[in-house]
Amino acid sequence: MVKICGIGAGYVGGPTMAVIALKCPSIEVAVVDISHSRISAWNSDQLPIYEPGLEEVVKECRGKNLLFSTDVEKHVSEAEIVFLSVNTPTKARGLGAGKAADLTYWESAARMIADVSQSNKIIVEKSTVPVRTAEAIEKILAHNSKGINYQILSNPEFLSEGTAIQDLLNPDRVLIGGKESPEGQKAIQALKDIYAQWVQEDKIITTNLWSAELSKLADNAFLAQRISSINAMSALCEATGAEVSQVSLALSKNTKIGSKFLNASVGFGGSCFQKDILNLVYICEGNGLSEVANYWKQVINVNDYQKNRFVKRVISSMFNTVSGKKIAVLGFAFKKDTSDTRKTPAIDVCKGLLGDEARLSIYDPRVTEDQIQRDLSTNNVEWDHPIHLHPLNPTMVKQVSIVRDAYEATKDAHGICILTEWDEFKTLDYQKIYDDMQKPAFIFDGRNILNVGKLREIGFIVYSIGKPLDS
Ligand code: NAD
């Protein structure tokens, strides 16, 4: 049996390797991680991440050709192909802090591969890395090699959290970058043979290494740019009486533009968009391309502006203060169908409201109390942020309660902020919620998922992104 090993059992490594195991029964897939708690969760009934369909895939393959282990060295040394899916966050300190990718985890994994390898290997970059990282890994491997031949491939992952399994089973495209040498082409073919088990051949694109690495950064930058573009329009809509949903509809019918990523919102979140754009900015600056860097920086600036604008709107609508007022926060994950809160706009919005001394009652169907407390207690500023995010002082933490359902969150509240587009928020009994709230009762729909007309009929004062305000 061919053996492959995935290093990093996170949001990418776990689902990606599980789908390979599902589609390639003749391959033995080991997923390894240095985090004991993550691996024991992968081996339990409570998987460490929530993704629709993931549990079924893991249950189908675990114990057959899929295993999760902390014995990183053993499984790496035995594998013919090693997928690297470790985290590459934004560097917190030192040169390039706040922008450059932190390749500490990446480098330590590469050094470990060099130390434990006894046979030739294909190393597949799955993590999102700065362009030309393959060159760096090659240097580490060459320096330590014992006559072992390593072929490096770039195979960036394009899954979206919340639809990871669907995206992996039916990808738009699979991108594989490699060298033009015969060995490089052989390695590309070996990886293509794996994907060919379930992906149509014309969806598998091959490029050189640097194009594949840069394409992933470009992909996230373009997606985030669309969100910032429509969010920038939403501010103009509010100022002029246009409606952003109507503008989106008009744009979406232009086949040159299309309909995806055109929903105005409180802002984008997630672990990738901001960090990858910052990384792009850093790479541009390092190459003397300051105008190009400034262009991409603006995508993040608009996102920060949008979150800030939302906080200001809540406070100004509620008679210029939320001090002592109870605000129900519905949704904390950065998008629906995931439990991930990394860089969720909810963090910034909650901190902004707490800064004006609001009392928050937070409900999210998938996010745990521990996650919310951790997110609100740490200082995760990575950028010269217009909203000043402080770690919360103990008094502020007392102003937050995390509750188990939307009705409990909204009872006696003065206002509601919808911060994640969970489907269940669309079908709540808003009449009952209104009856149980303080009056006037405000709703701030940061995801534009609610029926504004119906809410106004009930009696709510409603703010939706990019729509005319209540008079
Ligand atoms: P994650 O933090 O969820 O998972 C990374 C895992 O790697 C962690 O469990 C960590 O313990 C493990 N790890 C770190 N160093 C290790 C080592 N030396 N040996 C073994 N395990 C090690 O991160 P993620 O969200 O899965 O992202 C991983 C990479 O994929 C990042 O580069 C990210 O930018 C990229 N990516 C993420 C997404 C996404 O939606 N989350 C999508 C596409 C690409």
Does residue 182 share a domain with residue 83? yes
The pLDDT confidence band at residue 214, using thresholds 50, 70 and 90, is: very high
Residue 216 included in any domain: no
Which pLDDT value is given to residue 303?
98
The protein residue whose alpha carbon is closest to atom 38 in ligand 1 is 12
Atom of ligand 1 nearest to the CA of 11: 26
Residue recorded with tokens 């081996």: 43
Per residue, the 3-state secondary structure of 196-226, as one string, reads CCCCCHHHEEEEEHHHHHHHHHHHHHHHHHH
Q: Are residues 81 and 16 part of one domain?
A: yes
CB 386 within 8 A of CB 304: yes
Task: Name the active-site residue from 61, 272, 284, 417.
Answer: 272
- 3-state DSSP assignment of residue 136: helix
Residue 272 Cβ inside 6 Å of ligand 1? The answer reads yes
Asked whether this complex has an ipTM greater than 0.90, the answer is yes
Same domain, 192 and 245: no
Beta carbons within 8 Å of 249's beta carbon, 6+ residues apart: none
Smallest CA separation from ligand 1 atom 10, residue: 8
254 and 183 together in one domain: no
**pLDDT band, very low/low/confident/very high, at 230 (cuts 50, 70, 90):** very high
170 lines ligand 1 (CB under 6 A): no
> How far, in Å, is the centroid of ligand 1 from the Cα of 255?
35
- Over range 394-409, report the average pLDDT: 85
Q: How many other C-beta atoms are found inside a 10 Å radius of the C-beta of residue 398? A: 10
Q: Which residues of 324-344 are buried (b: 16+ CB within 10 A; e: fewer)?
A: ebbbbbbbbbbbbbbbbbbbb
Residue of the CA atom closest to atom 27 of ligand 1: 87
Q: What is the per-residue pLDDT across 154-176, written as a single tens digit (0 to 9) for each? A: 999 999 999 999 999 999 999 99
Per-residue pLDDT band for 386 (boundaries 50, 70, 90) equals very low
Please give the pLDDT value at position 156.
98
% pLDDT > 70, the chain: 95
pLDDT confidence tier of residue 143, bands split at 50, 70 and 90: confident
- Which of the listed residues 199, 231, 256 is the one where a domain comes to its end? 199
Are residues 107 and 157 located together in one domain of the fold? Answer: yes
Range with the lowest mean pLDDT among 120-134, 150-164, 386-400?
A: 386-400
Do residues 253 and 396 both lie within one domain?
yes
| In a shared domain, residues 439 and 314 | yes
pLDDT value at 387 more than 60: no
Cβ-based neighbours of 209, under 8 Å, separated by 6 or more: 134, 152, 153, 154, 177, 178, 179
Q: Which helix (H) or strand (E) holds 27?
A: strand 27-32
Residues 285, 162 within the same domain: no
Task: Examine residue 209 and state whether it is found in any structural domain, yes or no.
Answer: no
Sheet arrangement for strand 66-69:
66-69, 27-32, 2-7, 81-84, 121-125, 150-154, 174-178, 204-208
pLDDT score of 379: 57
pLDDT tens digit string along 316-371?
999 999 999 999 999 999 999 999 999 999 999 999 999 999 999 999 999 999 99
Q: Is residue 21 situated within a structural domain?
A: yes
Per-residue model confidence as pLDDT tens digits over 175-200:
999 999 999 999 999 999 999 999 99
State how far Cα 394 lies from the chain centre: 29
Residues 313, 231 share a domain? yes
Same domain, 173 and 273: no
Residue 102 has pLDDT above 90, yes or no: yes
Q: What is the mean pLDDT of residues 210-233?
A: 98
pLDDT at 468: 78
- Residue 144 sits in the same domain as residue 40: yes
Contacts 24+ apart (CB under 8 A), 395-401: 396/354, 397/373, 399/354, 399/357, 399/358, 399/359, 399/360, 400/350, 400/354, 400/359, 400/360, 400/361, 400/362, 400/372, 400/373, 400/376, 401/359, 401/360, 401/361, 401/362
Annotated active-site residue 284? The verdict is no
In a domain, 28, yes or no: yes
Looking from the CA of residue 12, the nearest atom of ligand 1 is 26
Tally of structural domains, the chain: 2
**Is residue 109 lining ligand 1, measured as CB closer than 6 Å?**
yes
Question: Does one domain contain both 255 and 161?
Answer: no
| CATH number of the domain enclosing 322 | 3.40.50.720
From 340, 353, 417, select the one nearest 387 (Cα to Cα): 353
Q: What is the pTM of this model?
A: 0.94
Asked, for residue 183, whether it belongs to a domain, the answer is yes
Q: Atom 29 (ligand 1): residue with closest C-alpha?
A: 127
pLDDT band at 471 (very low <50, low <70, confident <90, very high): low
Segment 17-44 mean pLDDT = 98
Range of the domain at 330: 221-464
374-402 average pLDDT score? 61
Distances (CA, A) of 66 to 41, 44, 329, 397: 14, 14, 39, 42
Q: How confident is the model at residue 377 (pLDDT cuts 50, 70, 90)?
A: confident
Within a domain: 207: no
Q: Is 9 in the pocket of ligand 1 (CB under 6 A)?
A: yes
Does any domain span residue 214? no
- Is 469 part of a structural domain of the chain? no
Q: 393: buried, middle or exposed (CB in 10 Å: 19+, 13-18, 0-12)?
A: exposed
